[in-house]
Amino acid sequence: MISAQVEPMDGAFPQKCHRGHPAGILTATMSLAFLAATVWLVPRAPAQAKDVAPQAATKPAAGTPLSKPAASRAAVSASPSAQAPAATAGDKAAPPAGPQAQPQNPHQWRDNRLIDFFCTLGVLLVLYPIARFLLKQWLLRREKLLGALDGDAIVYYYQQFRAGSPVVRQHPPIERKKLVDHRVFPKEVSDAYMESFRKDFSRWYGRKYYIAPVAMLALLSAVSGWWADEILRAWASNGIGPGTSLRALVASGLAGAFVWVISDELDRLRKRDFTTSDVYYYDFRILLAIPFAWALSASSIDGKLLGVPTVIPLAYFLGSFPTKTLFTIARRIGSQQLKLGDDQVNGTLELEKLQSIGKTNAERFNDEGITTITALAYVDPIDLTIRTNFDFSYVVDCVSQALAWIYFGKNEKYDDLLGLSLRGSQEVYSVIQNAGDASNAEKKARAQQTILDAAADLKIPPNAFRSSLDQIAEDPYTKFLVNVWCCLADVGHRPTTKAVSPDTR
């Protein structure tokens, strides 16, 4: 069931799911409707025909002499060629007569209702995950992001990434010399910036941008569902099945595309991960299914034409592959047909050098134009969070690591820094602050020793290494990340140290 794959949004969600939660009610209703329809629409034994006697009564009795015209008609009707009389112009769908005639389906009405039910359910299953995300989970992600930027972090964000916004001119961010309630800026200033960000968020990333792709997906699903309903009715009525026609190829390709779309939607619903680009890709995938299936049927492998009968099952099975994999298959088949080399590049992306980024996430960043670690270090983390749908704290950590990698990533001993609490710019800032903290001699000595050990491991002169650490700690992006991380800790993400004070800059 769909609701079983959704991650809990808060501590009370599992109870709500069993005590009248809309998702649970909808899922239970759909399950009961499916069960009831299956039981009600199961074909039963056909009733005996009652119109046999009148037909038999028209036959002449045995031994009765026939007139000449009647004898002629009887001879013609007895001939094999007369077993299937030609249809007249007004008889469009007259079934052939004789022993080889196809019997009419006595359960046609019930079969049609069952086909209608499954096609309608399929269309609803395409639209339900996106609708649930927009109505519930999208709001959850937005509130989580707003909570992470509460306080000084939102002011630093506008200073760093939106310096030309009207709110910066209306409320100049003047820092206080001393922290008040762990704040560098007055509360009324940060509140004004937060109110501006709420409006800007709706303008930049609001749900209105989902209207166009979701509308196109609904239209494609409805048209495909209607066409599938008509085709399935025709196949059910003639009792022959799809055969090996082009219509069967189209139906197989569309079915495979919708299988992948629904599977990907359910997976993203569980992860709370829907972007407008994802929905556009669903539209593109459905439109791609038919021409891809036709092109595949006209292709040849090892000099042998695949043909429609072979490709009909392949078009459906390819539905289990992502869209990028289909392009890889198409590119390789095209290369073979045109005698070209395969230009597919298989290698490690630069972003995979960071500790927290694997291949899948590196490809996700790459799709958004972030192909190098330097680009990641100075990207707008909020914009990147919205575009990738990654968790905001994860994006902040990746940017923090990228800032430190710029200075030491080329060193072959860079991985040794991970074990010395110097994996990112935030950790570097903390060590530098502790090394200059005269109020705590033990913490100061430990931080200074850490700096010396790290310089020895990297084989860098201590003074040069300390200068690099100072550069990282004084970077405006580092200060922004430190303040954001403090706000993340305030809303319960993880422990942290004090916010950045003007006296420590």
Task: Determine how many CB atoms are found less than 10 A away from the CB of residue 177.
Answer: 8
The answer to whether 151 and 183 are in contact (CB under 8 A) is yes
For residue 39, name the pLDDT band (cuts at 50, 70, 90).
Answer: very low
The answer to whether 167 and 190 are in contact (CB under 8 A) is no
Q: What percent of the chain has pLDDT over 70?
A: 69
For residue 182, name the pLDDT band (cuts at 50, 70, 90).
Answer: low
Structural domain spans, the chain: 12-39+109-211, 242-338, 350-504
Enumerate the H helices of 339-475 as residue ranges. Answer: 359-367, 373-377, 381-388, 392-408, 425-435, 441-458, 462-474
For residue 495, name the pLDDT band (cuts at 50, 70, 90).
Answer: very low
Instruction: Output the pLDDT for position 129.
Output: 93
Q: With 80 as the cut, is the pLDDT of residue 124 above it? A: yes
- Model confidence pLDDT, tens digit, residues 78-96: 444 444 444 444 344 444 4
pTM of the full structure = 0.66
How large is the average pLDDT for residues 143-159?
84
Distance CA 403, CA 473 (A): 10
- Model confidence pLDDT, tens digit, residues 292-317: 888 888 877 777 777 888 888 888 88
Q: With 60 as the cut, is the pLDDT of residue 123 above it? A: yes
Average pLDDT, the chain: 75
The answer to whether 76 and 82 are in contact (CB under 8 A) is yes
